[in-house]
Amino acid sequence: MQKTALVVGANGVIATNLINHLLELDDWNVIGLSRRGGKDTEKLKYLAVDLLDAKQTIDKLSGLKEVTHVFYAAFQNRPTWAELVTPNLSMLINVVEAIEPVATNLQHISLMQGYKVYGAHLGPFKTPAKESDGGHMPPEFNVDQQQYLEKKQKNKHWTWSAIRPSVVAGTALGNPMNLVLVIAVYASITKELGLPLRFPGKPGAYDKLMEMTDAGLLAKATIWAATTDQCANQAFNITNGDLFRWNDLWPKIARYFSLETAPPLQMLLQTVMADKEPLWNGIQKKYGLNKHSYQEVSSWAFGDGVFSWDYDFIGDGTKARRFGFYEFVETEEMFYRLFDELKAKKVIPA
């Protein structure tokens, strides 16, 4: 049976990989929603929509009767956690209120979340975090979004799922949360300056347990949860399945870039990389790279956030396995593969 996915936030690192995976499957058509739109193909069409505008969202989505699954991965950034709630909750509400009345065969709404549900962004939290863990003091838009879906779904024929990845790794550009790109650009600039690759985070972060979620693995898990009956109205942590410490992985990443290492030195990337745009432009010209703006390849604030976690940052991924999802990605090899992709796309020097 042919299915139609409405992927919301279509140009982000998570949604880009989700769309690519859906297009590899024979029984899916895809509609991508984003502010920027995109290039249509035979099985994929884009709609440029300002999801904060309820009327525009209703108007643009009014003809999407064929949608069977909504994959929600949109995000609007704001300066504070409290300010994140209104826009991010409003966008989800606008999408659901627009699509539910017209998509008569709507089967599932998938919500992309993260470990903020567990308070991971606030400081040391209970690890490994489980989907059944207690909540924390608001504000938290991820929680509000799930509560909205739970309430909206009651007595409806469609179901929902909440997907909770760790730090997501992919190669999409122009994304405010792309750690692979942070490291790749930081290492490329470090190499051009003839410096050793220093871990820039808090000293305590260097030896804590970490995990990541490959964007390709996340795409498979998201579709699995959305199309498996027993996953209805459930939340799932989705991770690569292994753990690492920066003190072991960082020197290996340095070797990948043919760099020496030196002891960690805490520094805010937002500060020390703020003046590096001219240098980056020179690197692009010198090595014949594609002309992506410095802003497109810069996620320094996100890097500062991840490298500041001087506490274990891990979730329990066994629930997904108990429900039947068994995919696994080795994190070290994932980094090398994604760095190779960035080189092949001429984003960083080969």
Across all residues in the chain, what is the average pLDDT? 97
State the average pLDDT over residues 223-237. Answer: 98
Residue pair 77/176 in contact (Cβ under 8 Å)? The answer is: yes
Q: Rounded CA gap, 89 and 83, in Å?
A: 11
Q: Rounded to 5 degrees, what are φ and ψ at 349?
A: -65, 145
What pTM does this model have? 0.96
State the average pLDDT over residues 329-339. Answer: 98
Q: Which two tokens stand for residue 213?
A: 């979620």
Higher pLDDT, 240 or 176: 240
H helices within the chain, ranges in order?
13-24, 54-61, 81-99, 141-153, 179-192, 215-227, 246-256, 269-272, 277-287, 300-306, 318-323, 331-344
Q: Which domains occur in the chain, in start order?
A: 3-167+213-238 (3.40.50.720), 169-211+243-314+329-344 (3.40.50.720)
**Integer-rounded Cα radius of gyration of the chain:** 20
pLDDT digits (tens, 9 = 90+) for 268-327: 999 999 999 999 999 999 999 999 999 999 999 999 999 999 999 999 999 999 999 999
Burial of 90 (0-12, 13-18, 19+ CB in 10 A): middle
Q: What percent of the chain has pLDDT over 70?
A: 100
Q: Which two tokens stand for residue 24?
A: 């590899």
* pLDDT of 176: 80
* pLDDT of 164: 98
Residue 261 is given by DSSP the state B
pLDDT band, very low/low/confident/very high, at 344 (cuts 50, 70, 90): very high
State the average pLDDT over residues 231-244. Answer: 98
State the average pLDDT over residues 59-78. Answer: 97
Enclosing H/E stretch for 311: none
* pLDDT of 307: 98
Q: How many helices (H) and strands (E) does the chain have?
A: 12, 11
pLDDT band, very low/low/confident/very high, at 174 (cuts 50, 70, 90): confident
Task: Examine the pLDDT at 175 and tell me if it is beyond 90.
Answer: no
* pLDDT of 32: 98
Q: Rounded CA gap, 182 and 27, in Å?
A: 35
Q: Tokens 């199309």 map to which residue?
A: 227
Residue pair 77/84 in contact (Cβ under 8 Å)? The answer is: yes
In DSSP terms, 235 is beta-bridged to: 162
pLDDT digits (tens, 9 = 90+) for 7-29: 999 988 899 999 999 999 999 99
